[in-house]
Amino acid sequence: MAKRDGDRCVWCGCSFSDENPSTLDHLIPVGWGGRNYFENTVLACEPCNHRRGCSSALFFLYLCAEEGLVSNKETIKRQLALASERMKKAPLAEQKKARQKMLDPHRLLRAGFQYSGNCHV
């Protein structure tokens, strides 16, 4: 996963270290029907993972942009697309639960947020 996502938090861009270890963050939260699929997880720092909680990945991406954090938009976009495809193969009950929470999984990404600023976590 580190090879795919790099050595920085996908949300804030901070580097991982012994003092700031990486965690697995579910793009489609487990509480929404998301699973521990490789496609549904990204590397995030503990503060971002905790702060995001069960909020939408797109909403949290918006919050990061508002704060000037340098998110890895391409990784998030790619993994959301893969996670969405994987969810289509999931049992219908899981799909329904996730769809109720995710209106349009790529809406904010297509809007083309501009990112600026440095990591300040």
**114 pLDDT band (50/70/90 cuts)?**
very low
- Helix, strand or coil, per DSSP, at residue 20: coil
Evaluate whether residue 120 is within a structural domain: no
Looking at the 3D structure of the chain, how many domains does it have? 1
Q: Which residue has the higher pLDDT, 81 or 9?
A: 9
**Mean pLDDT, range 4-31, rounded to an integer:** 92
Domain that holds residue 50: 2-110
**116 pLDDT band (50/70/90 cuts)?**
very low
d(CA 84, CA 29): 12
**99 pLDDT band (50/70/90 cuts)?**
low
pLDDT at residue 96 in the model: 59
Q: Domain with 95 in it: what CATH number?
A: 1.10.30
pTM over 0.85: no
Evaluate whether residue 121 is within a structural domain: no
Surface-to-core class of residue 48, CB atoms within 10 Å of its CB (0-12 exposed, 13-18 middle, 19+ buried): buried
